[in-house]
Each structure stands twice: as C-alpha cells, then as structure tokens.
A and B are shown apart, each in its own frame.
Chain A
Amino acid sequence: MKTKEQPRYTYQIEPIELEERPKRFLDAFAAVLRHSNYAPVLDAYLRIRAKCSMCTVDCQVYQASGDPQDIPCLRSELLLSVYRRYFTLSGMLKAPLFDDFRLTDEYIDRMAEAYYRCTACKRCKYSCPLGIDHALITHLARWILAEIEIVPKALKVSVREQLEGDTRNTSAIPFVGLKDTCEFLEEELEEVYPGAGIKFPIDVEDAEYVFFPAVSDYLLEADTLMGNAAMLHAIGASWTIGSRNFDGIDYGLFYSDRMWERIIHDQVAEIHRLNGKKMLIGECGHASRAGKEGMANFIPKEDKVPVVNIMELAYEKFTSGELNLIENAISERTTYHDPCNISRKGWIIEQPRAILRHICKEFVEMHPHGTENYCCGGGGGTVSVDEIRKFRTSIGGATKAGQIKATGAKIVVTPCANCKKQIDEVIADHKLDVERKGLHDLMLQAIIMPNGQRPKPKPEGEEF
C-alpha cells in the first residue's frame, strides 16, 4: 500500500492509499448504489429538498459552532451533489453545459470532516418539513468513505478485533479476563446482597435471554453490570453470557452496513449456539438500535429472535409487580439523559423514567427531552475518537452541558455506554458539579429481592 503525506483530519485514521481517491470513491459509491437500497432515497431527496433552514435551529453542533458546514441540509448536499453529478441523468446532461462540479481530493476531505462532525442523532429529521433524514445521509456517506479506508481508527480497530481478532470483542477482553471480572463482580454483589448468591451465568444453554452489554461495561461500568445482574436475579430471569461472543457493540451502525450485517450475524450465531430465546441488550443506545434494526434488516426469518433492551425488561417486571424497588432510595436530585438511538423514535422513554420517579426523591427533566432530546455530543461513534475530545465537549456537548446545569441535578442518569463516556468528559471539561450514573447503578441501591432482602448501603464515599 502506497502512503504519501497524510491528509489532515481532526480525527485519526489509519494510513491510507492516496492514489486516485476520487475515482475510488466513485467506484465505491457505484457499488453501494448498485447493491443497496439507497439510490431511490437519494433520488427522492434530490427532488424535494427545499433548503428551508428549519434544521438549523435543531442541530446542536451547528448551534454551537455557527459553521455553515454543520447545517444538516448543507452537509447532506455534499453527498447529494456527488450523486446528482455522477449518477443521475440530469447531472450528466448538465455537466457539459454549465455544471462545473467535480469530485476532488479536497472535496473528499471536506466530506470526511463534515460527516464525522455530525453525531447522527436524527434530531433534524423531525424538523424537516419534507422529512429528509440527514442522519441517513451521514450513515451512507460514512459507509462509502469507509470503503476507501477513511474511517476513524478507533472504530475500525474495534471492529477488526470484534470480527477478526482473537477476543471477538471491541475492547479486546480475553475470555479469561471476562470470567475473572464476572467472579469479582459476584464477590462484590455478595457484599451488597449477602447470601443472595447473585451470579453472572456463562454459557448456560436454553436460557431465555442471552446478554449483550456494551463490552466496555466490563472494564468501566461495574455498578451498571452489578445492577443488571441483581435485577435479573430479582425477577428470576433465566439468562446467560455467551463465552464466544459477549459484546453488544456494533459500530457497523456508525460507519458501514457491511460491518453492521457481519456483526449482527455473529451475535445471532452465538444466541443459537446456546439455544437462547432472546437477545438482551444492556445499557447501550446504539447497541439496542443496531440489534433491533439489524435483526429486522439482516437476519433471515427462521433465525430471528426478539431483541429486548434491559430497561424494557426491568420496566415490564416493575409494572407487573415482580420487581420491587425501594421508594426514594436516592436522595439527591436526579435527571435523565435520553440516548438518541433509543429515544428519537419513541422506543424507550417512559420505561427508565417510571423507575427513576419511584426510586428517586426528586426527579427532574431536562428541556427538551424524550423524542426531542439533544444528543450528548458524542453520538454516531464520535465518542470513541479521543483525538476530537475538545470538539466533542466544547461544540457537540455545549448544549448538553447547559441542559444538565439548568436542572440543578446532582446525578445525571444515562443508560448508554457512549453517552456515559461523553457526559463524563462534558462534566470534566465544563467543570459541572454533577455525578454521572447508569440506570442500573442506581437500581443497585434500590432492588428488593423476592425474599425481602434489601441492599446493604455502601460505606460512605466508597466507589466501586
């Protein structure tokens, strides 16, 4: 592979071949259009886009940056222009007459920058009178860019390890490491619920739920996982972790349908190896959506299994009375951040709130929230790119920082691995006086076991 001087992106990519990039981009675009379902959608968008500017007030990136390249409609135009020029009849007719548009190296660099400034939060889709889904254009553009190797290194390396590495997960946790972690968490749980014998079952066949959290939880979010296990124990669920595939993360959703499909196939294969019945996703927004939409889009009917987010399960058992939670167990003022991937279309909004209103003395909302929430600023996989942290927290996360501050809450709950990392960084960089938690982190202090056992309060000031 030839490498010349690296183009300057604000994020890190792996060394790439710089020969004939425009040609290779068009080849990749042509291949994608030929085999995928995107061409009809681009046709429709080309015909109807009215450039009305409604999206400008809804994009938190543009609101903070004021840079026209962040206007959703203008960002989508980057890719639509290429499509019109090279793949439509009118584009080809106009080209020799009066259209000087040409795909250049510099233009590809602009797309690479613009489509990774977007967090694919989909908020602008709902402000577009013509329903143009700019997040879809971002999604498609990133796939084409990825086919010419323009993709943030963090995403690519993770997917490489998940699909082709030895550990088969994005955090490269070897199975022995997972086992050790689970045993350690079981010991910790023994201190919270002495004698309850809460387990992290591994490779149990015929279980109802095969558990796929964001694998980074095993490294970073012990309280979330302990809360997950305690909740599953309390409702008497039959569940298991698969030893060969225990990672719910699917970065394919962020940059390549090709990878998305391969990852969901691997996950479903593990469920069937264990003869599991359902795919249980942990606290993770994109994993839930990648699982649910990936299952619907890519998995043949006979292999499909239902995809359940763990909060849906907790809520169902909480409302049916099978899961008992201590009322007002959390005394600090608490607020909730909706992860875009599970809230934008109205899938999971009320479920965590019902639980939080019960276990928190004072629960307050951000404004706006629910389907109209603002992205944390790290959506669309950008949170994995450490090189752009400053951009993410100062531009992408500026709105969220303001929202959190305005609630006056001491705890901000968010059930998503990406949002958790981003909000931690937003809190640090904006010096906010608030603690970030997962939903199950708080539930761990509130679950009442069927025999009436309550959690032992943590010694003051101790953090797991």
Chain B
Amino acid sequence: MAEWLEWARGPAFRLAIALMILGLLRLAILNAVNIMNVLAHARDRNIPWKTVLADTAGWFFPYKKVRPQIVFTIASFLFHVSVIVTPIFLAAHIRLWERGVGISWAAIPQTAADYLTLIAIASAAVLFTKRASARATRALSRPQDYLLPLLIMVPFVSGYLAMHPGINPFQYNSTMFVHVMSGNVLLALIPFTKLSHVVLFPTTQLVSEMAWHLAPGAGREVAVTLGKENEPI
C-alpha cells in the first residue's frame, strides 16, 4: 500500500495537476478569444463595466440572493467557501508544496480546517439531498450533477479520518490513498465538467452582457446563405 500511496502522491498527482492546468488554460484562452471575437464583430462596443463588475461581485458575495431558497443558498455558499479554502490553506498541504516546489503561504489553524472540512461534508450532503429530493432539480440534473457532490465528499471524509486516527477504522495508508486519488480525479475533472466555472465564473456576466452586442448585417447574410434574400416575409 505504501508504494501505491507514493504513486498517487507522485506521478498520478503530477498528471492530474498538469491536466487541470492545461485544461483550464485552454478554457481561459478559448474564452478570451470568444470574448474578443464578439467585440470584433459588434458595432456597439460600449460595455457597461460598472454593471458587469457589480453583477459579478454580487455573486462572489451573494448575501442579497439568499431569500428565495434559504437553506439551499446558505448551504451552497458554505460549500464553496469550505471547498476552496480548506485544501488551499491546510497546513499539511502547504508543507507538501514547500517540500515539492519550495513555495509556501500562510495556513489556517488546524481547528478551523477541521470545522471547514465538516462544513464541506455537511453542505455537500445538503446539496445532494436537495438535488435528489425535488421534482424540478431531478428534471434538471445530469449524472455529473449527482456524482460531483458525492465525489467531492470523498477527499474531505478521507482527509478528516486521516487527521483523526482515533476515529479512523481504516489503515492510515489506505485512507490516504483514497484521499489523494479522489483529489487527483477531481483536479483532473475540473476542466471537463461544470467545475470549469472555477476559471470561467469571473467572465460569465461579461459574456451575457456581450451576448446582446449583435453583429450588424448578420440577418441579411443569414438570408443570403439560406437563399431567402429575395423571399417575401
């Protein structure tokens, strides 16, 4: 098991992080090209930056949006905060970065990490239950929508168990193997699933604003392409 863990921590992790970085880079570049393409073909290039930024910031801190679905929005917010903060600022993770590539940053206290981990697990469970328990969300959901919250729970549960040997019924190494591999899988999946919103989120409001900056003359060209330019309405 020790060799397996080494493999998961070494080559498998490097592959996962490379896939994630290259995949996200590709998305970011495609997204930027798309945005510039729209602007190049639009006649109206005035972007109301203030509104776009305010809308984007409004969803970074969505306290105004809580009301309609209180449990869901609060769970969703807690989920995002804990899932982002815990892995990045966990002292044990930072030590790995320091050892591997020589960079480090401030960590959060271990107790805070423990609570955040529990919050991540609980909120993921709430999100999953919410999705499975209402007609509207069942109608909406694809397989990845059910699988991702479950998959995200795995590294948090296994990580928590690894940090608390007293309550861990499994061997340390096998727990760590599950922890590292599930993390690897998640990292690699980011660019290929809806998790890609980790890089696309900051520009989504801009994209929707630009969507209405239409290409002049497109209508006539469509008619010509379809052979309808002289057809009466």
Binding site for B on A (CB under 8 A): 27-28, 31-32, 34-38, 40-41, 43-45, 47-54, 56-58, 62, 68, 71, 73-74, 125, 127, 129-133, 136, 147, 156, 159-160, 163-164, 256-262, 293, 296-301, 345
Contacts and interface: CB of A to CB of B under 8 A. Distances in A.
**The 10 nearest A-B residue pairs measured at CB:** A258-B219, A40-B34, A68-B139, A296-B44, A35-B221, A31-B225, A36-B218, A57-B68, A160-B233, A41-B211
Contact of B211 (A38, A68, A301): A38
Contact of A256 (B141, B207, B219): B219
Given A37-B214, A41-B211, A261-B216, A53 B225 contact: no
Interface string B47-73: 000010001100100100100110011
Contacts of B73: 54
- For the residues of B in contact with A, the DSSP-based class is helix
B194 A50 contact: yes
Contact of B196 (A27, A47, A56): A47
A313 B219 CA distance: 32
B43 A44 contact: no
B201 A51 contact: no
A281 to B, nearest CB: 18
B140 A73 contact: yes
A58 B203 CA distance: 23
Contacts of B207: 40-41, 44-45, 131
A306 B17 CA distance: 52
A52 B76 contact: yes
* Interface-centre pick from A40, A73, A257 (highest chain B CB count, 10 A): A40
A35 B225 contact: yes
Contacts of B43: 296-301
A53 B196 contact: no
Interface stretch (B83-91, B130-138, B151-159): B130-138
Contacts of A47: 27, 194, 196-197, 200
B59 A53 contact: no
Given A31-B225, A54-B69, A159-B233, A262 B211 contact: no
Interface string B205-221: 10110111111111111
Nearest to A36: B218
A54 B66 CA distance: 10
A258 B214 contact: no
B140 A28 contact: no
Contact of A48 (B197, B216, B219, B228): B197
20 contacts: A35-B221, A44-B31, A44-B200, A47-B194, A48-B194, A49-B194, A50-B194, A51-B141, A51-B194, A54-B65, A54-B68, A54-B73, A58-B68, A130-B197, A156-B233, A163-B233, A258-B223, A297-B214, A300-B43, A345-B51
Given A40-B38, A57-B68, A147 B222 contact: yes
B136 A71 contact: yes
B41 interface: yes
B202 to A, nearest CB: 11
A137 to B, nearest CB: 9
A6 B232 CA distance: 22
A258 B27 contact: no
Nearest to B196: A47
B216 A131 contact: no
Given A49-B194, A127-B68, A132-B208, 16 more contacts: A34-B221, A40-B207, A41-B34, A45-B207, A47-B27, A48-B194, A53-B131, A53-B137, A130-B197, A131-B205, A132-B204, A133-B208, A133-B212, A147-B222, A156-B233, A256-B219
Contacts of A300: 43, 216
Contacts of B136: 53, 56, 62, 68, 71
B226 interface: yes
A65 to B, nearest CB: 12
Contacts of A293: 212
A35 B229 CA distance: 14
Contact of A43 (B34, B131, B217): B34
A125 B208 contact: yes
Contacts of A45: 207
Nearest to A301: B43
A48 to B, nearest CB: 5
B114 interface: no
B35 to A, nearest CB: 7
B225 A34 contact: yes
A36 B38 CA distance: 9
A51 B34 contact: no
A225 to B, nearest CB: 28
